[in-house]
Amino acid sequence: MALVDIQVPDIGDFDEVGVIELLVKVGDTVKAEQSLITVESDKASMEIPSSHAGVVKELKIALGDKVKQGSVIAVVESADAVASAPAAAPAPAAVAPAPVAAAASAPVAPAAAPATAGPVEVRVPDIGDFKDVAVIELLVKVGDTIKLEQSLFTVESDKASMEIPSPAAGVVKELKVKIGDTVNIGDLVAMLEGVAGNGPAAAAAPTAPAAAPAAAPVAAPAPVAAAVAPVAATASVPAHQPGTPTAGLPHASPSVRKFARELGVPIDEVKGTGPKGRITQDDVQTFTKQVMAGAAQTKAQAAKAPAATGGSGVGLDLLPWPKVDFTKFGPVERKDLSRIKKISGANLHRNWVVIPHVTNHDDADITDLEAFRVQFNKENEKSGVKVTMLAFMIKAAVAALKKFPEFNSSLDGDQLVLKQYFHIGFAADTPNGLVVPVIRDADKKGIVQISQEMGDLAKKARDGKLGPADMTGGCFSISSLGGIGGRYFTPIINAPEVAIMGVCKSSIEPKWDGKQFAPRLMLPLSLSWDHRVIDGAAAARFNVYFASLLADFRRIVM
């Protein structure tokens, strides 16, 4: 028996990846190629296998630690590390293992093909028991340089959406799919020009160099035997199954883990319904709905309020959602919620329940501003330039955020993050639901540029082509119902922002000017704000200042 250090193999162009799962514990007997830990980068999660069979004597890392190539993650008491040295000398005597090693090495060769520069075929991997899944998002384009395990596109079944990663690093030469296509396991989806030295995320490939240092002190030929031994073991030993019970977190893709973190869902308490017990986005949403409805309780809730079971309202211990057979009362039709509504619904529900909303209503006199807007558009009609009232409101929001910086902040635990940038979101209505594109650095852009950018983002939203970068990073949002109607409403804050401005359709109203009633064009304003960060006096001042900017836009330059 010999003690062997198990190191992190070559995991591609990743540095300092986080340990999110421990799959074994001290004292466990592990097999060659059995997964020991799971690490996660910002793009993918991967399991790190053991290069030797044996007994785990020590774990060198803990959950949350950062590791990189060459980091020692465990110490294993291994028999094959010693046995590999004499096995290398009498090569002809190793009659039985030789064919096994040769057979096992056959499938390894194609996996290592991307290590040399050349064309690489990207095919749909095993995505579980799904057929004809739809491509809903392309994350790269032809000519992009991508990294190993970088997501290429997103597919969606009737149960979940998932990102398909690249098995190699390189340059995208051709995309074989487009949005709306359906794909299956094994379908060719892209062609890459591989980068020399890059390797796939296969578990078997990295084991050869990892085993060599441990066997080197025993005998000179040992590295060759050490490299063959794990491969031979792989032929008869099944690989680690993600669905088997582990001591760490359940299995979920990086996007699902991120989604759970955004909702504040403890993913270890969610039951996975996907292939091999994998947690899907629907599982996270279902768990959230059950907790909100009182049908389920998190461990944290149970610890804080163990006696709150009598309908007191503590811990949201509400009555279960009513189950009704609507067909008893007449004909019905069932229609699945769109993907956008599923995602936004869960976020809106969380925001409404968690954030203490207060809404102030006011009116802004936009008579002069609307006259200027109409005149400007008429003067520039031939050039195709057209500005909207919403563009003026975005510019006014920037000025108001500068004057009242607490509105341009976010809560992070017990701290308030005051932002020095001004990214303004605006709600866009689409056939599939509401989305909120973001105008970045609105303080550095003019009214015309903001109008043009809004038009481009609105078109992308209607076409379903908005990417995550188009909808993240907002500081403050404006929800406008001006083109539809209404008077006032209570917009829900778009977390982690702390306020949102709602505007409705303007109307002509009689206003007293000191001598007589005069017709003025009034715009209804509805400002919702987070009472944990903002108080009523500050909200009233913000609304009054915002209205004064729209009434006399010259104040913007003051």
Positions marked catalytic:
531
DSSP of 499-525: EEEEE---EEEEEE-SSSEEEEEEEEE
Which tokens in the block code for residue 513?
Answer: 């000017």
Element holding 66 (H helix, E strand): strand 66-67
Which tokens in the block code for residue 202?
Answer: 């296969």
What span, in angstroms and rounded, lies between the C-alpha atoms of 486 and 537? 26
DSSP of 1-38: -EEEEEE----SS--SEEEEEE---TT-EE-TT-EEEE
DSSP of 376-419: HHHHTTTTT----HHHHHHHHHHHHHHHSGGGSEEEETTEEEE-
Element holding 214 (H helix, E strand): helix 207-215
What span, in angstroms and rounded, lies between the C-alpha atoms of 334 and 339? 16
356, 536 Cβ separation under 8 angstroms = no
What span, in angstroms and rounded, lies between the C-alpha atoms of 436 and 425? 6
End-to-end, the C-alpha distance of the chain in Å comes to 80
DSSP of 234-271: HHHSPPPPTTS--SSPPPB-HHHHHHHHHHT--GGGSP
Please, which residues bridge with residue 19 across strands?
A: 39
Which tokens in the block code for residue 433?
Answer: 């639901």
What span, in angstroms and rounded, lies between the C-alpha atoms of 189 and 181? 10
What span, in angstroms and rounded, lies between the C-alpha atoms of 407 and 397? 10
The residue with tokens 């010999």 is: 2
Which tokens in the block code for residue 23?
Answer: 């799959």
137, 150 Cβ separation under 8 angstroms = no
Distance of CA 425 to the CA centre of its chain: 19
507, 521 Cβ separation under 8 angstroms = yes
495, 347 Cβ separation under 8 angstroms = yes
379, 448 Cβ separation under 8 angstroms = no
What span, in angstroms and rounded, lies between the C-alpha atoms of 518 and 62? 72
What span, in angstroms and rounded, lies between the C-alpha atoms of 511 and 210? 81
Question: Among 95, 162, 90, 92, which Cα is nearest to 124's?
Answer: 162
